[in-house]
Chain A
């Protein structure tokens, strides 16, 4: 991870929102390890529109993070802003079995730092 920020939104209180930024790889481990504890609502949205490359280690972290979120409670995970390459990657590695791709919400986003 070169740089990554996640901004939980307070504009749409019915769900949590994280905008991801930068490369997602082995360096992102602490960030994704701590993220599930920050989820408060039954729906969580992740915005990947400013995320860069996601390698196999990044995929492993995302899978573990999403599993942890879903295990804690019946949380729906939505993914927006995916590039075609990251969509292909998520489809072939099973990420879409845990989280659903959706069009960008258009609100609730405060922007990544």
Chain B
């Protein structure tokens, strides 16, 4: 008998039904309906614990209904990754508890699932089970050209953004919006890599926003993008590896839940990247490399107000 690799904790039968279709086809899935008995559910998890690579938590349970659930699941399945799933038709989960519990993966089930959206959750689950980081080509049609541009100085930024816009040369409002979003995303990604990533040993910034600068001798910044006629994928890698997963989550939480006009919460660029992408990915190898990227659809028309998921992966 196949040992379960993935467990999913639902609040009740209705909750389980909501996710039935989206998780269909995930092999070795152990569904647990918690109802009122968290202790019994955790005992079931513990029994399967050795083989579990991933535990999925429904947002109908956590963080609102069972605030300590993530911590308790971690205690019984210390080797498992946690993924929170939420319906996009319900209020999005608060991010601050996720920050405290180091829940670094959040996915939404879109109400009107296009083909690629239906494939999204099983693909995320597969990646988390196999500890495989996101790659730019994973969301593009096979054979799509990936254009990669190593940066030499900050003055090349506008030329790279222009190259991205040129790739999205179609006519009509959809293309115009995709060009504008793509340009903004490239701008934010490059600004982050040029001015936020470079840090001194004490954590202070090496460069001031907007200043003209050359890359340092050992520094590497590469902007990559591809477009398959429907999906635009972007990726920015830098050789600093200075973006900490908890800091990223903190930026997203503060910008989503804080008062935007009370003061600058910091991390607004990352917040914009997160909200403008359909799916946001961050892979960090501390001290070695940061890769930020994701994709968006030409025809998605998803309002950035609609909640977005994220996948923050620390690679060792």
Binding site for B on A (CB under 8 A): 2, 25-27, 29, 53-57, 59-60, 63, 67, 83-85, 88-89, 91-94, 97-98
Q: What 17 additional pairs, Cβ within 8 angstroms, besides A53-B187, A55-B188?
A: A2-B158, A25-B187, A55-B184, A55-B187, A55-B191, A55-B272, A57-B191, A63-B260, A67-B261, A84-B173, A85-B180, A89-B272, A91-B304, A92-B304, A92-B305, A93-B272, A94-B261
Contacts A27-B210, A93-B268, A97-B260; A85 near B184 (Cβ below 8 A): yes
For window 149-176 of B, CB contacts with A under 8 Å fall at 158, 161, 173
What's the dominant secondary structure at chain B's contact region?
A: helix
Q: Across the interface, which residues of A come within 8 angstroms of B260, CB to CB?
A: 63, 93-94, 97
Q: Report how far A55 CA is from B275 CA in the complex, Å.
A: 13
Q: Across the interface, which residues of B come within 8 angstroms of A60, CB to CB?
A: 264, 268
CB distance from B130 to the nearest CB of A (A): 34
**Selected A-B contacts with CB under 8 Å, 15 pairs:** A26-B210, A53-B184, A53-B187, A54-B184, A55-B184, A55-B191, A56-B188, A56-B268, A60-B268, A91-B304, A92-B271, A93-B260, A93-B268, A97-B260, A97-B261
CB–CB A85/B177 < 8 A = yes
Q: Report how far A27 CA is from B305 CA in the complex, Å.
A: 28
Q: Report how far A93 CA is from B183 CA in the complex, Å.
A: 18
Pick the residue among A25, A53, A63 that contacts B180 (CB under 8 A).
Answer: A53
Q: Across the interface, which residues of A come within 8 angstroms of B127, CB to CB?
A: none
Pick the residue among A2, A25, A89, A92 that contacts B210 (CB under 8 A).
Answer: A25
What's the dominant secondary structure at chain A's contact region?
A: helix
Q: Across the interface, which residues of A come within 8 angstroms of B183, CB to CB?
A: 53
CB–CB A98/B180 < 8 A = no
Q: Across the interface, which residues of B come within 8 angstroms of A57, CB to CB?
A: 191, 209-210, 269
Q: Report how far A86 CA is from B188 CA in the complex, Å.
A: 14
CB–CB A55/B181 < 8 A = no
Q: Residue B21 at the A interface, CB < 8 A?
A: no
Q: Report how far A67 CA is from B259 CA in the complex, Å.
A: 13
